[in-house]
Structure 1
Amino acid sequence: MRQILLILIFVSFLSCEDEEKRQTVQEAQEIEEIIEKTIEVAGGENYKKATISFNFRENTYKSERNGLEFSLEKQSTEGLDSIRDMVSNSGFQRYVNDSLRIIPDSLLVRLNKEIKTVHYFAHLPYGLDNRGLNKELLEEARIEGEPYYQLKMSFGQRASGVAGHDEFLYWIHKEDFTLDYLAYKFVEEEEGIRFRAAFNPRVINGIRFVDYRNFTFRNSETGLSELDELYENDKLELLSTIETKILEVAVKE
């Protein structure tokens, strides 16, 4: 009798374990489908063969992609010097007045992350399908009466290259599959929270771009999933308006 009882308990345990695995697989598939649709709505395959130039905070940025090959640039000036920093499949390079310069590793790491971060935000939702990210689908949310998926992601620096960001939350419209809101926590020099609300959506040569109103909440212990309600109740502090002037979008045939 005791042996039969032990067998039943063991079978029950295996059944529960199999059910958890099925739920995990189903959730992972749903997440990937949501991300795939969101990227498709915003530009899809166009991202992989596009050259995009834009102005942001007095600097000019340029991205070029051709399949798996890519380069991300930042063009700036210091005094009379013209500086071009570039991250590509080959690593990081800095040119000053078109001459290649060797820079210390400590500065290289900071510049590399800075360039990737600016391009990351400018090209969202491209990049959300990175296989190296931890993804979790939270409960449905409503903002201004509209239904949203809440997609939580944990970023390791090796996976994202985005400086100082530990946790992200994205609000994706359940019907339109547009990325309308995002939030993140950062722990670089100090802890903090940011919540961004997209505005001024426009499509240029098949790729969707938005600007953001950038908010904060002083209590850094606040969960990111609480920020949508705080936003609707005007409890967030507006820090800045992030506007990106698109200069060029060229998509190869």
Structure 2
Amino acid sequence: MGGKQYQTLNIRFNQEGGGTDFEDEFRYWINTETLLVDFLAYQYATDGGGVRFREATARTEASGMVFQNYKNFKPEEKSTPLDSLPSLWEKEELILLSEINNTAIQVIPR
């Protein structure tokens, strides 16, 4: 995506011990140069199901931790496979649903 190299991490759950949302699936695209998550996607079954794709738009570091803002997208078809989302994003064929912006970040030591 965007000429950058990524490692992908796919997360699924077993039914036993996986909670009520055990069928959900998550995918992370980790930039091989920065080791940060540039994109993430998930497939969910709640409320009829669907998929979402998020693009990291800004990063803030506080107390050695990285916090990211995201643009939150969805495809036209809620049954779209997670692996198809990056190419749809590159072709600008995803629908922007919202922006997730972290403001006034505070890290409170315990």
TM-score (norm 2): 0.87
How far did residue 163 of structure 1 move?
A: 5.1
**Long gaps (5+) in structure 1:** 1-142
Distance in 1 (CA, whole Å) between partners of 2:59 and 2:21 is 26
- What are the equivalent positions in structure 2 for 1:1-253 lying under 5 Å apart? 143-156=1-14, 158-159=17-18, 166-251=24-109
Question: Is the 1:200–1:210 Cα contact (8 Å) retained in structure 2?
Answer: yes
How far did residue 167 of structure 1 move?
A: 0.7
Distance in 2 (CA, whole Å) between partners of 1:181 and 1:245 is 20
Percent of aligned pairs sharing the same letter: 35
Give the SS at the match of 1:249: coil
User: How many pairs does the alignment contain?
Assistant: 109
Distance in 2 (CA, whole Å) between partners of 1:218 and 1:164 is 24
Larger Rg: 1
Distance in 2 (CA, whole Å) between partners of 1:207 and 1:245 is 15
TM-score (norm 1): 0.40
Return closer, same or farther for 1:196/1:164 CA change in 2, 3 Å cut-off: farther
Distance in 1 (CA, whole Å) between partners of 2:59 and 2:24 is 27
Return closer, same or farther for 1:174/1:216 CA change in 2, 3 Å cut-off: same
The C-alpha deviation readout for 1:164-191, integer Å capped at 9, x for no partner, is 7611111001121101100011111112
How far did residue 205 of structure 1 move?
A: 1.1
